[in-house]
Every structure is written in structure tokens, then in C-alpha cells.
Amino acid sequence: MRLQIFDNHETLSRATADILLRTVRENPRSSIIIATGSTPTLAYQLWVQDLLRQDIPTDELMIIKLDEWGGLPMDHPSTCETYIQKHIIQPLSLRPDQVISFTSVAADPAAECDRVYRAISALPSIDCCVLGIGKNGHLGFNEPNTTWSTVPHVAKLSITSLGHAMLQGDSRDVQYGLTLGLDTISIAKSILALASGSEKTAIVEQALRGPVTPQCPASILQTLPQSIVYLDTKAAERITS
């Protein structure tokens, strides 16, 4: 695990965008796992802006959505789908076959996870994985006390996840989470885990300096040599002082 601390969220986002840009420039057929949430949004905006301005081809890029809220309609404003459509898929005009994405309204959620697993298994590689470290230490919806070794699966959501700002206080229709598992995340050639702001200070300390344990799924980052953790000074407060 490599750790880098930035002065603020803007510089962290710029550095994240630069890694994503380099990934696509070096391999236009890259497959990239995309987390949603507030932390990576600016990075995605900068990345997409640069791809377009520099005319970098994206017609062979594959985007893999990290997770989804089960039970919300796909076009609900709070879904991860709406987020990736708005920030990445539509601005880059990606085709549906360039996106591997859990549906939020699967009749059989376990079968939906199998479908995503098969689609990912058919890829030549996963080149980069962007993650946000959750307030409770989750990665995607790999919630505390998850098993380490997991393929895409249906997750029982924690109270913390159901309180995520994406749901805007309205989690009534969310029944479960759909998420890539830690196995899939771990095979990415490069893993970029982000945290910013003082609400992440305590969990960042636990994840990066505490024991490696399923009680804090983000602690797995300590064991992954290809992981890069980008923090701003607020999130890093307890590990630098």
C-alpha cells in the first residue's frame, strides 16, 4: 500500500484524474471499476474533461460500476447508475456494451450478481479500481464483518450505508446492496482508494493503522501492494499527528 496526502480535495481529485487519464492513454482498452459517492466526483469531472479536450479515444474503454442500491428504480436520482450516467457514460458517449453494471431492480438479485461476475470474468484484465473509503470502513457494499473472499454478491446494508448522503435521507425503498466483492477489487492492477474530510479521520486511522480485519473491510488495503491511498489533510489528521 502506498499513501499520499494532499492539501485539499481539489489537489487529491487532480491527482486521481491524472492516474485515470494515464490508465486510458496507456491502454485504450482499459477496464476501470468506478465507485460513486461524493469523494471521487470532482476527479471524474476532471478526468472526463481531459479525455474530451485531449481527444483521447474511449470507444474501447470498459466501465464497471462498483455497487448499487437494490430496490430503487434504475433512473432514481440516488442510484449509482444515475451517478455514472451523469458523470461518465453520457459525457463520454459510451455505448451500453462498454458498461458492466448491476441493475437495481433485478427479479433475482443473486442471478444478477452471477451475470456481473461472468461479464467481469470475460475481461482481459481490470486495470484500475477507484474506491471511496466509507464512514464505517466499507468498500463498495462490502460492509463490516463481511467475508474477505467474495465475488459480486447481495449485501445486507448497514445503518451507516443506509444513511449515506446519496439517498438524501430517503432509504425506504432500498432493500439490499449489490456489490463487487473484495476478490474482484483485489485483482485490479491498480487500486485507488480515496478519503477526504474530517468525517473520515477516525475510520482512516482504523483502516490504515489498525489491525487487518473484516470488521473494517478497508483495512484490506494494507495487504494489497497495488493499492494507492489518497487522503486530504483532514482525513489524514490522525495518521500524521
What positions carry a catalytic annotation? Answer: 67, 136, 138, 143
Nearer to ligand PGA, 87 or 164 (CB): 164
Nearer to ligand PGA, 126 or 164 (CB): 164
Which listed residue (23, 39, 104, 227) binds ligand PGA by CB under 6 A? 39
Does 38 bind ligand PGA (CB under 6 A)? Our answer is yes
Which listed residue (70, 109, 134, 181) binds ligand PGA by CB under 6 A? 134
Residue nearest to ligand PGA (CB): 37
Please provide the DSSP assignment of the chain as one string.
Answer: -EEEEESSHHHHHHHHHHHHHHHHHH-TT-EEEE--SSTTHHHHHHHHHHHHHTT---TT-EEEE-EEEETS-TTSTTSHHHHHIIIIIHHHT--GGGEE---TT-SSHHHHHHHHHHHHHTSS---EEEEE--TTS-BTTB-TT--SS--SEEEPPPHHHHT-GGGTT--TT--EEEE--HHHHHTSSSEEEEE-SGGGHHHHHHHHHS---TTSGGGGGGG-TTEEEEEETTTTHHHH-
Which listed residue (164, 184, 192, 220) binds ligand PGA by CB under 6 A? 164
Does 65 bind ligand PGA (CB under 6 A)? Our answer is no
Q: Min. distance of Cβ 39 from ligand PGA in angstroms?
A: 3
Region binding ligand PGA by CB under 6 A among candidate stretches 13-21, 35-43, 76-84, 105-113:
35-43
